[in-house]
Structure 1
Amino acid sequence: SDSSEAYYMATPGLHVVTPATVSDAYGLLREAIASDDPVVFLEPKRLYWSKDSWNPEEPPAVEPIGRAVVRRSGRSATLITYGPSVPVCLEAAEAARAEGWDLEVVDLRSLVPFDDETVAASVRRTGRAVVVHESGGFGGPGGEIAARVTERCFHHLEAPVLRVAGFDIPYPPPMLERHHLPGVDRILDAVGRLQWEAVN
């Protein structure tokens, strides 16, 4: 158990990808094999039991490395995430409806290269953003993502870009992971801190 993507992201020349769905695992792996650049392919173990099916003669579309995708459209705020945190963010977005929040979920799929265009377009629409990942908060990917969003969307932001991450401790054993990893409650707590009172 580990979230080592920050190490690889900080190594110039490496591409870093992490799928959240079966079809993306298929497509990103094919792209990684075909790439002329070295690719670190992160496999979220918690998603190993995910299943999907398709006609062998019509496999899923293969998207180029470096393209994010909007998994759920929304208007209130954007959850920016990747890999094993994608299903958690989608669950949080559904739960947020009870609070009156309509959350958009952006699945990065690729950490390097980074899809600034898709992420910035989403945040400019919603005006608020929370970055969610399992890696530790201090020195983690969320800091880089938040900086990129702030640089490109500053005049569109209604609140600071927040982060929900793993705690800054050694990675716990599997039986304790649920206490360490971002969950729905922690995500909704962050969304609740996005200065909603400024809207009225």
Structure 2
Amino acid sequence: YGGGIGAVEHHSDSSEIYYMATPGLTVVTPATVADAYALLRRSIASPDPVVFLEPKRLYWRKEELGLPVDTGPLGSAVVRRPGSHATVVAYGPAVSTALEAAEAAAELGWDLEVVDLRTLMPLDDATVCASVRRTGRAVVVHEAHGFSGPGAEIAARITERCFYHLEAPVRRVTGFDVPYPPPLLESHYLPGVDRILDAVASLEWEAVPA
């Protein structure tokens, strides 16, 4: 699933919201080579039905691993980059984009924490909320469309659980609410570093962090 490789439009959709809306399913999407291996083995061993979503962009990634690899149980998120000014929540192919944005943000004075969800159902509220309570601000990033997309549920859960810790409304950076475009236009559709930085800049800062 997912775009970023110039595939035909209907092959690049992000369909995770369909499965997230089906009670009883575990929904997994890796962002790294190690997680692709480890979470797939966990999914096969699970006694429950699992939908394992493979980001097509990950097929182009290569990494040396010492097998076996176990990166943690299903339903556990991980902090990919620690930070103190705002939390960027992402999953699947959007994680690498979020990490790029965090590096660019550091040059502007923002120290962004990046949380990789890894599993969309069940959602690791504890890890996400612990991060947001530390930073006080949150941006959710994903390739799927914005309206009724996964970010809407994630933002709602953050708001419900972290309301008194938030310094600004939770922002979303998503695909647009249109059918997935042809390959030549997908760079305009997919969330990018600039759009993430724009969202971070809108988090009601009194001044640019030192």
Instruction: Provide the residue aligned with 2:27 in structure 1.
Output: 16
Instruction: Provide the residue aligned with 2:64 in structure 1.
Output: 53
Aligned length: 198
- Alpha-carbon distance between aligned partners in 1 of 2:102 and 2:180, rounded to the nearest angstrom: 26
**Aligned-pair distance for 1:54?**
2.2
- Alpha-carbon distance between aligned partners in 2 of 1:32 and 1:123, rounded to the nearest angstrom: 28
Instruction: Provide the residue aligned with 1:160 in structure 2.
Output: 169
Q: Are 1:29 and 2:24 an aligned pair?
A: no
Give the counterpart letter for 1:43 in structure 2: E
Instruction: Provide the residue aligned with 1:145 in structure 2.
Output: 154
Trace 1:1-200 onto structure 2 (pairs within 5 A). 1-56=12-67, 59-197=68-206
**Aligned-pair distance for 1:173?**
2.1
**Aligned-pair distance for 1:174?**
2.4
| More off after superposition, 104-113 vs 173-182 | 173-182
- Alpha-carbon distance between aligned partners in 1 of 2:182 and 2:158, rounded to the nearest angstrom: 33
Tell me the TM-score normalized by structure 1. Answer: 0.96
Give the aligned CA root-mean-square deviation in angstroms: 1.3
Runs of 4+ in 1 over 3 A off after TM superposition: none
* Structure 2 segments unaligned to the other structure (5+ residues): 1-11
User: Per-residue CA shift, 1:136-163, capped at 9, x if unaligned?
Assistant: 0001000000000001100000000000
Give the counterpart letter for 2:58 in structure 1: L
- Alpha-carbon distance between aligned partners in 2 of 1:104 and 1:143, rounded to the nearest angstrom: 20
User: Per-residue CA shift, 1:84-110, capped at 9, x if unaligned?
Assistant: 000000000000012110000000000
Q: Name the SS of the counterpart of 2:70 in structure 1.
A: coil
Q: Indicate if the aligned counterparts of 1:75 and 1:126 stay in contact, CA closer than 8 A.
A: yes
* Identical-residue share of aligned pairs (%): 73
Q: Name the SS of the counterpart of 1:19 in structure 2.
A: coil
Q: Indicate if the aligned counterparts of 1:124 and 1:156 stay in contact, CA closer than 8 A.
A: yes
Q: Indicate if the aligned counterparts of 2:109 and 2:208 stay in contact, CA closer than 8 A.
A: no
* Structure 1 segments unaligned to the other structure (5+ residues): none
Tell me the TM-score normalized by structure 2. Answer: 0.92
**Aligned-pair distance for 1:34?**
0.5
